[in-house]
Amino acid sequence: MARQIVRARELRRDSSKAERVCWELLRAHRMDGIKFRRQHPIGRYFADFACVSRKLVIEIDGDHHANQIDADTRRTADMEREGWRVVRFAANEVVANREGIWASIQLVVDGERNPLS
């Protein structure tokens, strides 16, 4: 457990520009009062952003993710097996289109609130 805390702190400290932009959107309950955590451990992974109460993960994929598609697919499948919903965004999209990312996350959150709509 202590090792996970240290690793999560390192990941938060060394976050990418896209992760910092996304955190500015999500932090401090800005989205309908929903609390997100940064670098939250889920199994053997650390989710970029996680809302525990909604079991929702937001992942930001940098350029290096193009070379690890299989690993990302396994990671997503593992998190989904644990009951999490995983939404991925490209890092360049987060930086270039904050409003669009906000709207996309809001749609996911709204969809969870009204699962039959």
Strands 85-90 and 45-51 turn out to be: unpaired
Superfamily of domain 2-113: VSR Endonuclease (3.40.960.10)
Token readout for 105 is 């996350």
What pLDDT is attached to residue 113?
A: 57
Locate the domains of the chain by residue range. 2-113
Rounded-to-integer distance, Cα 87 and Cα 59, Å:
6
Print the SS3 string covering 35-67. CCEEEEEECCEEEEEEECCCCEEEEEECHHHHH
Instruction: Using a cut of 0.85, tell me whether the model's pTM lies above it.
Output: no
Length in residues, the chain? 117
Q: What averages of pLDDT result for each successive group of 10 residues across the chain (117 residues)?
A: 71 80 88 90 93 94 71 93 95 94 90 56
